Chains A and B, each alone.
Chain A
Amino acid sequence: DAGITQSPRHKVTETGTPVTLRCHQTENHRYMYWYRQDPGHGLRLIHYSYGVKDTDKGEVSDGYSVSRSKTEDFLLTLESATSSQTSVYFCAISGATGGGSGANVLTFGAGSRLTVL
């Protein structure tokens, strides 16, 4: 997981509280992603960023917001956590898209396990 760190790694919170997960990269990669992983669903994209202040929604974005004020940091916020957001959250980065040899190859962080009681 060199070059990409997630914090916190584990968090337990209560329903209705705000939660922010942080992804920090030292690779100067343009693209950053937040996925959640749940049994039976694989990985599902929440939000992604293609540059500072440039973000877009993924397939499961409801209840989540993101911000990217610096190249190296991508924050995922749950404004009011619900039990359905209990999951393992993965950040990923990518330096290239399109037809190049490194096209869309992702490097993942170690994950953040969130439990909402």
Chain B
Amino acid sequence: SQQGEEDPQALSIQEGENATMNCSYKTSINNLQWYRQNSGRGLVHLILIRSNEREKHSGRLRVTLDTSKKSSSLLITASRAADTASYFCATVTGTASKLTFGTGTRLQVTL
């Protein structure tokens, strides 16, 4: 079963707007990561947030983590057409050396 579930499944915005996507998970985590996947390509790591952190920034990306609600959000500010992609959250739990991925949010940024 999926550990992470992203919301919304699809998002369409105009260039320059902010994009927010959410991830909910079921069990306690060590860290949560966000990945991007361009059409027909492999996933690319964007950002990692640990369970004891509440917010991380990387360029135009802002990630928050609320462990009490078992949820995370990814904010992309000032979106560009090149941000068009699918975005996945992934969680690491316990001592496992494996990531469990959610089903993804498909972001479309139009000019």
Q: Which residues in A have some Cβ–Cβ distance to B below 8 Å?
A: 1, 31, 33, 35, 40-45, 48, 50, 58-59, 90, 92, 94, 97, 99, 103-111
Contact = CB atoms under 8 A, between A and B. Distances in A.
Contact of B42 (A41, A94, A99, A108): A108
B101 A108 contact: no
Interface centre among B1, B99, B102, B103 (most CB of A within 10 A): B99
Interface centre among B2, B33, B42, B104 (most CB of A within 10 A): B42
Nearest to A108: B42
Nearest to B31: A103
Contacts of A48: 97-98
Contacts, number: 63
Given A42-B102, A45-B98, A94-B97, A106 B88 contact: no
A29 B43 CA distance: 18
Contact of A50 (B35, B97, B100): B97
A105 B33 contact: yes
Contacts of B10: none
Contact of A104 (B31, B42, B44, B103): B31
A42 B101 contact: yes
Given A43-B101, A48-B98, A104-B99, A1 B88 contact: no
B101 A90 contact: no
Nearest to B41: A110
B48 interface: yes
Contacts of A33: 98-99
Interface in B35-65: 35, 40-45, 48
Nearest to A58: B98
B41 A111 contact: yes
Contacts of B33: 104-105
Contact of A103 (B2, B41, B92, B101): B92
A40 B10 CA distance: 12
A108 B42 CA distance: 6
Given A44-B101, A92-B43, 13 more contacts: A33-B98, A42-B2, A42-B101, A43-B88, A50-B97, A58-B98, A103-B48, A103-B92, A104-B31, A104-B98, A105-B33, A105-B48, A111-B40
